[in-house]
Chain A
């Protein structure tokens, strides 16, 4: 009870003193004491890179998660691409007005196929590169965390 009532500054010392197996007066040197539980929580026994190297179950889970995120991203870009590219001929087939419509004096099919689609590709590529690098950063943070 008396230890709890003591001031903040003296608290740590008193707690140490209480856990020490010997009476305070007989300890010649100080030993740093930390709780084993917090240490266990902070640092796993193996770093994740070692789990991957040794191909343990845990390492496998890490690798699968990386592959899945990257593949999902790739699949997303490919789906959008297939939608746009695969959709255009159908669109031209089903909506005849679109074939002959003008955009700033240029027929729409020409404006799209000979011009606008290229900046579209670059935009898609830029998005992919940004996301893929972000995924890799997250993976690196995950496996290097200690």
Chain B
């Protein structure tokens, strides 16, 4: 079993080692086709939460949890129609870049930077936690070992190389994860068939597989809040936006997003089946996040079971490493450039900060299901960057003060709810539901504050807004004056 883990880590580590040779953002990627680009987005996006967490939550709480993968995919549809092409055309490389380009204010830029770092940490923390969980399931090592291992591998790779993975390697990660989940599933379904195709227990068939009945309190509120967070939060994730920059133009950005939707849809067909099989064969699991890893040995066993377990484990480590390294580079870049002085030295310190803080959180915080914590990161993104992007792109009257107020109030409220949920709790009743799924109230508040304050401060509308709108919305083949703003190079 140790061999499996070493092999899995090596595959992942080599994956990111290749990558660091080229900073593809400046050269190769501009000619990358939408399929490769979309695979790369998928490879970086499908984290431990998708690979392990969804099946686990479905096993615990039933059909209501299927809204998570639906939202994580549907978020790209919202991203496509509201922001993809204008965002690419803005020329922004990070979310703070966009804030600066549109609102012409360094204060807004810094606020956006802080939020990027918080969202990144929140997203990294469950990756490290589930790495520990996977390693404990496979080898019996203490929980902190796996998290530390992934954190060290990611930090060493980022530190020794600097730039992020080339598109090709991230694209490979998507197909690796898809294979690692699809191939064992074929065998599992064959085993289920030859087992006489057992059905769910009568009790489960009456509650678990029926929406709005199983598991959690305030199911309707939680469902809607989850939908809002995931559909609107996708556009505000730090590691997603960077990939859009590798599209040659706005039109290609749209087409890439269309392919991303197809790839994610194909992937998310799988975890639901794992969750369903898990309910039949492994209803006794305590930490249900491990269901994907446990099923091959429980249902098949023997050498084949071991090989399949190895494959799934490799996929899980690919998920930890690709998402974590993508996030670490994004977060470290923002810390180095906007919060420290910039330059190579700052980037090193920034990388350490980007990794150590979520690792510490992972060790001390309450162990929540991985997909739930990632859901909280989406809620923060939906209550801060979603209003900034949507209003910034479509509404000329957004003022600097309005954007700042919206970011602070929306992001602040969501962060507070998240902090309380992670460190304290669990809370019961209405308070518990409101804190565990904050998006349903924080997103409307963020939008309202941004719009209201913008109306109150019409003199703080940026001077170059007309030129920026030309830049964001007109197709690149037209010969127009788009201003001369460029993202600052780090």
**Contact residues, A115-137 vs B (CB, 8 A):** 115, 117-119, 121-122, 124-126, 128-129, 132-133, 136
Residues of A91-111 whose CB lies within 8 A of B: 92-93, 99-100, 107, 109-110
Distance of A121 Cα from B72 Cα, bound (Å): 12
- With known contacts A124-B77, A125-B77, A53–B269 Cβ distance under 8 A: no
Q: Are A85 and B74 in contact, CB atoms less than 8 angstroms apart?
A: yes
Q: Is the CB of B251 within 8 A of A110?
A: no
Instruction: Tell me the complex Cα distance, A146–B34, Å.
Output: 34
A114 touches B227 (CB 8 A): no
A133 closest partner in B (C-beta): B251
Write out the residue numbers on chain A whose beta carbons fall within 8 Å of the beta carbon of B77. Answer: 77, 81, 121, 124-125, 128
Q: Quick one: which of A49, A73, A92, A126 contacts B479, CB cutoff 8 A?
A: A49
Q: Is the interface of B mostly helix, strand, loop or mixed?
A: helix
Query: Are B210 and A109 touching (Cβ within 8 A)?
Result: yes
Total B residues in contact with A, Cβ cutoff 8 Å: 51
A-B contact count, CB below 8 Å? 131
Known contacts: A49-B479, A53-B481, A125-B257. The answer to whether A113 contacts B67 by CB under 8 A is yes
Bound-complex Cα distance A93 to B210 (A): 10
Chain A residue numbers with a CB within 8 Å of B161 are none
- Chain A residues with CB under 8 A of B78: 78, 81
Q: Is the CB of B66 within 8 A of A110?
A: yes
Indicate if the CB atoms of B469 and A71 lie closer than 8 Å.
no
Which of A5-13, A24-32, A38-46, A59-67 lies on the face that meets chain B? A59-67
- B394: chain A residues at CB < 8 Å are 67, 71, 74
Interface size on A, residues (CB 8 A): 45
Shortest CB-to-CB span from A24 to chain B, Å, is 46
B207-241 vs A, CB cutoff 8 Å, 1 = contact: the mask equals: 00111110000001001100100010000000000
Alpha-carbon gap, A85 to B66, bound state (A): 12
For the complex, give the distance between the alpha carbons of A99 and B214 in Å. 12
Shortest CB-to-CB span from B313 to chain A, Å, is 24
Q: Which of A49, A117, A118, A129 contacts B80 (CB 8 A)?
A: A129
* Pairwise interchain contact A81-B74, C-beta atoms closer than 8 A: yes
**CA of A86 to CA of B78 in the docked complex: distance in angstroms?**
14
- Is the C-beta of B82 less than 8 angstroms from some C-beta in chain A? yes
- Within 8 Å of chain A (Cβ to Cβ): is B290? no
**Contact between B251 and A66 (Cβ–Cβ < 8 Å)?**
no
User: Is A20 at the interface (CB under 8 A from chain B)?
Assistant: no
Instruction: Tell yes or no: B480 within 8 A of A by CB.
Output: yes
Nearest CB of B to A73, in Å = 7
Choose, from B100-108, B366-374, B400-408, B470-478, the stretch at the interface.
B470-478
**Interface of A: prevailing SS:** helix
Rounded to whole Å, the gap between the CB of B232 and the closest CB of chain A is 10
- B299 part of interface (Cβ distance < 8 Å): no
Taking a contact as CB atoms under 8 Å apart, the answer to whether A85 and B227 are in contact is yes
Contacts of A143 in B (CB 8 A): 478
> Which A68-91 residues have a C-beta within 8 angstroms of B?
70-71, 73-74, 77-78, 81, 85-86, 89
Contact B265 A119 (CB under 8 A): yes
CB of B245 within 8 A of chain A? Answer: no
Distance of A53 Cα from B482 Cα, bound (Å): 8
Q: Is B57 interfacial (CB-CB < 8 Å)?
A: no
User: Which one, A114, A121, A129, contacts B66 given CB within 8 A?
Assistant: A114
A140/B210 in contact, CB under 8 A: no
Query: Is B73 engaged at the interface, CB distance under 8 Å to the other chain?
Result: yes
Contact A49 B81 (CB under 8 A): no
Return A119 CB to nearest CB of chain B, in Å. 7
CB distance from A70 to the nearest CB of B (A): 7
How far apart sit A126 and B80, CA to CA, in the bound complex (Å)?
A: 10
Q: Which residues of chain B (70-129) have a CB below 8 Å from chain A?
A: 70, 73-74, 76-78, 80-82, 85
Pick the most buried of B80, B266, B273: most chain A CB atoms within 10 A of its CB.
B80
Q: A29 to B67, alpha carbons, bound, how many Å? A: 82
Does residue B244 face the partner (Cβ distance < 8 Å to A)? no
By a CB distance below 8 angstroms, the chain A residues around B82 are 74, 78
Query: Is B258 among interface residues, defined by CB-CB distance under 8 A?
Result: yes
Question: Could you tell me the distance in whole angstroms from the C-beta of A8 to the nearest C-beta in chain B?
Answer: 43
Inter-chain contact A63/B470, CB cutoff 8 Å? yes
Q: Is the CB of A66 within 8 A of B269?
A: no
Q: Provide the B264-286 mask, 1 if CB < 8 A to any CB of A, else 0.
A: 11101100110010000000000
Q: A74-B81, A121-B265, A125-B77 are in contact. Are A63 and B466 (CB under 8 A)?
A: yes
A118 touches B251 (CB 8 A): no
Does residue B63 face the partner (Cβ distance < 8 Å to A)?
yes
In the complex, what residues of A have CB within 8 A of residue B211's CB? 89, 92, 99, 109
Contacting pair B209 A118 (CB below 8 A): no
What's the minimum C-beta distance from B203 to chain A, rounded to whole angstroms?
A: 14
A81 to B278, CA, bound (A): 31
A residues near B478, Cβ cutoff 8 Å: 49, 140, 143-144
- The residue in chain B whose Cβ has the minimal distance to the Cβ of A77 is B81
Top 5 A-B residue pairs of the complex, sorted by shortest distance between their CB atoms: A118-B265, A114-B272, A113-B66, A74-B81, A53-B481
14 sampled A-B residue pairs with Cβ under 8 A: A52-B480, A55-B466, A67-B473, A78-B81, A81-B77, A89-B223, A89-B224, A92-B212, A93-B212, A109-B209, A109-B210, A118-B261, A124-B77, A129-B255
